[in-house]
Each structure stands twice: as C-alpha cells, then as structure tokens.
Amino acid sequence: MLRLRSTVALGLLLALPACTTSFRTSDLDGTWIGRDHTINSRGQSVTSKEIVLQVGDNGLINGTTTWALIDGAGGNDGDAPVAGDTEDIIGVFDATSGEFYLVETEERGFWRGRMLSRDRIQAFLVQSGDKPVAAVVRLQRRTD
C-alpha cells in the first residue's frame, strides 16, 4: 500500500510541470485597460490606465502607458499637479513564465508584471526619487 501511495505521489509531482501555463510573445502584445491604485508624493489616487505594448518575437517590448485621474490626489509634472499623463516604456517579456518588466524612458519608473491569463495581467510600479510613486494595476485586454 505504501508503495502504491509513493508511486501515485511521484506521478503527480512529475505531472505538475505540465499544468503550468506557457505563453507566446504575441499573447502580451496589444492594448490593456483597467484601473490602478497609486500612492505618490501628493497622496493616494485611483486612475484609469491604458497600456499599449508591442512585443517582438524575441520578447523585447516598446509601448506607452496612459493614465487619467478618477479620484484622489493625482500626479506631478515637475512641481505642477496633473490629472493624467502618457509615458513611453520599453521592456522584456519571458513567455515561459508570463513575467514582464518595463521601464519608463523619461523617469525612474520600473514595472514588474505577469500575465494571469491570455486576457488579464497584473503589474506593480515603483519609482524612486524626489517624486516617488508606487502602484498596483490589474488590466484586461481591450477587444475592439
């Protein structure tokens, strides 16, 4: 009986890697929309977010992030308060794990995210400096 349990347990362990989701680079390509929750030097905010990603076969990413204030303190452009912005980003995507990393080209923002499914992603933004930012966002693929 013990041998049967050991054999079944070993079989389940060997089968687990086959259960992991693997993605293609094209799965992250596209437009993603949703809301994010942000805290920065001005306070807390909720914003609408749109991320447009162009992902090459090698996993390299070009894109933009756009946000618009829904509620809260908003953001900064230098010392001026703003209720929205668009930023260029570049990054990399690991299709095996579904993880991606993005950096803002004009600021210190660093994104770490992962695909939850082929139509949903989650990401975290951190930005150090005089105007620090931290945010969490869950997005879904825009289907027009």
pLDDT at 12: 47
pLDDT at 16: 46
- Alpha-carbon distance of 106 to 91, in angstroms, equals 14
pTM: 0.84
- Alpha-carbon distance of 36 to 18, in angstroms, equals 33
Domains annotated on the chain, with CATH: 23-141 (2.40.128.20)
Regions of the chain where pLDDT drops below 70: 1-20
Size of the chain, expressed as the number of residues it contains: 144
pLDDT at 144: 78
- Alpha-carbon distance of 57 to 2, in angstroms, equals 48
Model pLDDT for residues 108-122, shown as the tens digit of each residue: 999 999 999 999 999
Please name the residues in contact with 81: beta carbons below 8 A apart, sequence gap of 6 or more.
Answer: 42, 73, 74, 75
Going by C-alpha positions, the residue among 51, 71, 73, 70 that lies closest to residue 62 is 51
